[in-house]
Amino acid sequence: MPKTKTLKSDKAEKKPAAAAKPRKPRVPKAKPVPKFRTGYVALIGRPNAGKSTLLNAIMGQKIAITSDKPQTTRLSILGIHTTPQGQIIFIDNPGIHKPLHKLNKRMMNFVYASIETADIICLLIDATQKFGHGDEFALEALKNVRKPVFLLLNKTDIVKKANILLLIDKYQALREFKEFIPLSAIQGTNVDVLEKLIFENLPLAEKLYGDDDVSDQSERFLLAEIIREKILAHVEAELPWATAVYIDRIDRNRRRKPGQAPVGGDSNIGENDGGDVVFDERGADAAFDAEELRNAAGRPPDQNIDGGEGKESGHAERSGSVRPEGREISVPGVSTGPNMQRQEEKPKLSREERRERPLAYIKASIFVERPNHQKIIIGHRGQVIKLIGIEARREIEEILESKVFLELQVKVRPQWRDSADVLNLIEGQKET
C-alpha cells in the first residue's frame, strides 16, 4: 500500500504558554533615619520680655539689636543655632501688642505666622512684672495652638524664688505648657537647659542651613538696624516708635589714591535742597577723593521712597511641604537671600593695618514723622546725631572690616508708619 504523507499545517501549532513565574513583591528601601534633630522655634512674648537678648545669648554673638525701648524688633529674624545634635532655627519676633498703625499690624502678622510655622513655641515673660492685660493678650494668641509651648520666665536673677513659683502656678492654671524654665538671658542662666529640652522635642530631620550660617539677615538690613539701635539709645519719649532707617547706598572697596593723606576723624552737618538734615561722619583714617564723594552722593537712590502705595503684606500661609532635608517655611520678614555667617575671633589689627583697609561709603536715611522729631534727632548743635553717627560707624567698621564714611539724612515723612510704600521699602532691605 502506498504510504500516506502527513501534511503539516500551514500554521505551526501553538505551544502551550509557559507558566508565569510569580514575581517577588518589591520591598521599598527603608529611608535612612536622619541623624539630627532640626526644627523651628518661635520666640514670642510681650515687648521688652528679653527675646532678642536670649537669642544673642544662645547664638554667642549679636544677631538682633537690643534696647530698653519697647518694640525694638519689627521683623521676624532667624537665628540659626547648629550643634552636633542638629539645628535649632529660632524665629525672633516683635513683641505682642495691640496694633494701632499699619506698621504694628505687620509686626503682629510676623508673630502669628511664626506661631503657625514653628515646631515649638517659647513664650517669654518678664518675671519682674505682675501679670496683666498684656499677658492675657499674649496667651490669647496661643489659644488654639496644639504644639509644644514652653514658658520661659526671664530675669529670674533679680526675682525672689517665691515670686517665680507664684507666677508658674498662675500660668499653669491658664493653659497647658510642655515645660516651665526659669532663666536669665542676660546672665546666661539655664540657657543650656533650654537648649537641651528644645532638642528633645524637635523632630528628626536633616539640617536646613549650612553649619556656618547664623541668620537670614542681609548686610543692608543689619547696618540699618545698627543705626536704629544707636538712635534708640539716645532718644526718649515717642521717638523710638516713630523712627526708621533705610540704607540708600553702600559703595565698598574704595581705596585711597596714591599719595592721598588720611583725613582726621571729623564730621559735618548741613541741610540739602529738600530740607532734609544731612550729617557726615568719617573715621580717623577714612579719606575719599572729594569729586568721587560728590558723584556718589549725587547718584539716584536705589528706590524711590516717595512713590505710590505699595501692596500690603498679608498673613503668610504655612507651607507644610516636606523635603528629605527638612520642612520649608514661609514667614513674612524672613529672607531668602544670602545668609549671615558666623563671626570668628580675629586678632586686633595694628594701626598701619587699619589704615590700609578699603573704604566704604554708606548713605542712610532716618525717617521721622514730625519736624520737632527731626530736631530731637539732630540735638543741640548736632550733638545727638553726631553721637549716633560715631557709635554706628565704629560698629559697622568692624562688621565690614573697612574704614567707613557714613552719611545720615534725617527726613520728615508724615505718618510713615501708615505708608505702605515706606514700610515695603524698609522691609525690603531684609532681602537685599
φ/ψ of residue 427, rounded to 5: -70, -30
Provide mean pLDDT across the span 215-238: 90
Q: Residue 86 and residue 325: Cα distance in Å, rounded?
A: 12
Note the pLDDT of residue 177. 97
Note whether residue 279 is domain-resident. Answer: yes
Q: Residue 376 and residue 373: Cα distance in Å, rounded?
A: 5
Do 374 and 270 fall into the same domain?
A: yes
Provide mean pLDDT across the span 312-331: 35
Note whether residue 337 is domain-resident. Answer: no
* Tens-digit pLDDT profile for residues 37-74: 999 999 999 999 999 999 999 999 999 999 988 889 99
Residue 163 has pLDDT above 50, yes or no: yes
* 289 — pLDDT class (breaks 50, 70, 90): very low
* 145 — pLDDT class (breaks 50, 70, 90): very high
- Find the domain containing 244 and state its range: 219-307+350-428
Note whether residue 9 is domain-resident. Answer: no
Note the pLDDT of residue 305. 38
Note the pLDDT of residue 284. 45
Do 202 and 288 fall into the same domain?
A: no
Note the pLDDT of residue 15. 59
Do 297 and 161 fall into the same domain?
A: no
When mean pLDDT is compared across 11-15, 178-182, 387-391, the lowest value belongs to: 11-15
* Final residue belonging to a domain, choices 199, 215, 231: 215
Write out the E strands in 189-241.
213-215
* 283 — pLDDT class (breaks 50, 70, 90): low
Do 100 and 173 fall into the same domain?
A: yes
Helix axes 51-59, 191-201, angle to 10 degrees: 90
* 304 — pLDDT class (breaks 50, 70, 90): very low
Note whether residue 17 is domain-resident. Answer: no
Do 241 and 140 fall into the same domain?
A: no
Note whether residue 27 is domain-resident. Answer: no
| Alpha-carbon distances, residue 254 vs 42, 292, 357, 396, 399 (angstroms) | 40, 10, 9, 16, 16
Note the pLDDT of residue 275. 59
CATH code for position 393? 3.30.300.20
Residue 354 has, within 13 A of its CA and on its CB side, a CA count of 15
Say what percent of the chain tops pLDDT 70.
70
Residue 293 has pLDDT above 50, yes or no: no
* 262 — pLDDT class (breaks 50, 70, 90): very low
Q: Is 214 helix (H, G, I), strand (E, B) or coil?
A: strand
- Model's pTM, two decimal places? 0.76
Note whether residue 145 is domain-resident. Answer: yes
Most confident of 287-296, 297-306, 372-381: 372-381
Note whether residue 318 is domain-resident. Answer: no
Residue 321 has pLDDT above 50, yes or no: no
Provide mean pLDDT across the span 201-220: 93
Do 89 and 230 fall into the same domain?
A: no
For the purposes of burial, counting CB atoms within 10 Å of the CB of 317, is it exposed (0-12), middle (13-18) or buried (19 or more)? exposed
Note the pLDDT of residue 73. 93
Averaged pLDDT of the chain: 80
Q: Residue 302 and residue 310: Cα distance in Å, rounded?
A: 16
Provide mean pLDDT across the span 86-102: 95
Do 63 and 160 fall into the same domain?
A: yes
Q: Residue 386 and residue 279: Cα distance in Å, rounded?
A: 8
| Alpha-carbon distances, residue 113 vs 75, 94, 101, 105, 423 (angstroms) | 11, 12, 19, 12, 18
Residue 28 has pLDDT above 80, yes or no: no
Note whether residue 202 is domain-resident. Answer: yes
How many independent structural domains does the chain possess? 2
Provide mean pLDDT across the span 175-200: 96
Residues contacting residue 335 through CB under 8 Å, at least 6 positions apart: 78, 216, 217, 218, 221, 430, 431
CATH code for position 102? 3.40.50.300
* Final residue belonging to a domain, choices 197, 215, 233: 215
